[in-house]
Amino acid sequence: MPAEVWWRLGCFVGVLAIMLLWERLQPKRQAQLPAKRRWPANLGIVVINTVVLRVLIPAGAIGAALWSADVSFGLMHYWDWPLTLSVVTGFLILDCTIYWQHRLFHRIPLLWRIHRMHHADTDFDTTTGLRFHPLEIVFSMLIKIGIVVLFGIPALAVLIFEIVLNATSLFNHGNVALPRRLEWPVRRVIVTQEMHRIHHSQLPAETNSNYSFNLSIWDRLFRSYTARPQAGSDAIQIGLKEYPAQAQSTKLSYLLAIPFRQPTATDVKSGSQDKDESTQ
């Protein structure tokens, strides 16, 4: 197994374990549905996405970066920069790309049908940061490959970016909160749980804001930043109204079918009944 795979796997497992322990010891919010219902599907998606990428695009973005370097293709190969500067620049280009990709997945109806599986999670915790439809994962990888080749981004920058992106997705979806004295200073640099939780609000104005995954500067720079939710941090309604908390919505088969079916009135009614029963 290539060394880069071990690096990515080790960082992923380590951050996931830390976040799950943090959530266990200091949860921010009470879950609408128990973890034993939600986690099998959310974690199962990771396995499916990993297999899909290995089958369809085995070389990935790092393979594209190595090819670009071998043939000296891409804009950065015309810049006589030190490796460190090229890595930092490449990292920023990729991070900005993911911001705009995320924003487009909200704005283009066809892409939103795919991305809404992520937002249909009725709770907000670390496993939500893993819950992306295989189609979105494939599209995202193709976009990254295109950017890597276009700019000739170094393989080291791609590796660092993918490790950081996975780690920050786990981090900023955590059902936790940083201490108040740290939350705002940290938010000036990276996306925090309080900032990203707003993005998972049911209010469209809040859902369509705070698109950044890693560096928070992009939302401020491109005017999509929401500092505080209307309902307050503890009262945000998480998810999508058309996908309420219900037993069937936690099944892996249901999640995978979300892009291909529209929610019905029966789904919403059933969700209300399931939620009432779970609180009795």
Q: What angle do CA 224, 226, 228 make, to 5 degrees?
A: 175
Domain annotation covers residue 8: yes
Q: Is 238 helix (H, G, I), strand (E, B) or coil?
A: strand
Helix%, strand%, coil% for the chain, nearest 5: 70, 0, 30
Return the half-sphere exposure (C-beta side, CA atoms, 13 A cut-off) of residue 168. Answer: 21
- Report the C-alpha gap between 35 and 39 in whole angstroms: 5
Which positions of the chain have pLDDT values less than 70?
1, 264-280
Domain annotation covers residue 131: yes
User: Which H or E element spans position 165?
Assistant: helix 155-172
Model confidence pLDDT, tens digit, residues 101-145: 999 999 999 999 999 999 999 999 999 999 999 999 999 999 999
| Ramachandran bin of 152, using left for φ above 0, alpha for ψ from -120 to 50, beta for the remaining angles | left
What pLDDT does residue 245 have? 81
Domain annotation covers residue 106: yes
Domain annotation covers residue 280: no
What pLDDT does residue 265 have? 52
What pLDDT does residue 1 have? 56
Q: Which of 45, 209, 208, 207 is nearest to 128 (CA)?
A: 45
Q: Is 104 helix (H, G, I), strand (E, B) or coil?
A: helix
Model confidence pLDDT, tens digit, residues 197-235: 999 999 999 999 999 999 999 999 999 999 999 998 889
Q: Treating both helix axes as pointing N-terminal to C-terminal, what angle do 134-151 and 60-71 enclose, rounded to 10 degrees?
A: 20
* Domain total in the chain: 1
Q: Which of 87, 59, 215, 72 is nearest to 156 (CA)?
A: 87
Contacts of 198 by beta carbon, 8 Å cutoff, 6+ apart: 206, 209, 210, 226, 228, 229, 236
Domain encompassing residue 185: 3-275
What pLDDT does residue 159 have? 96
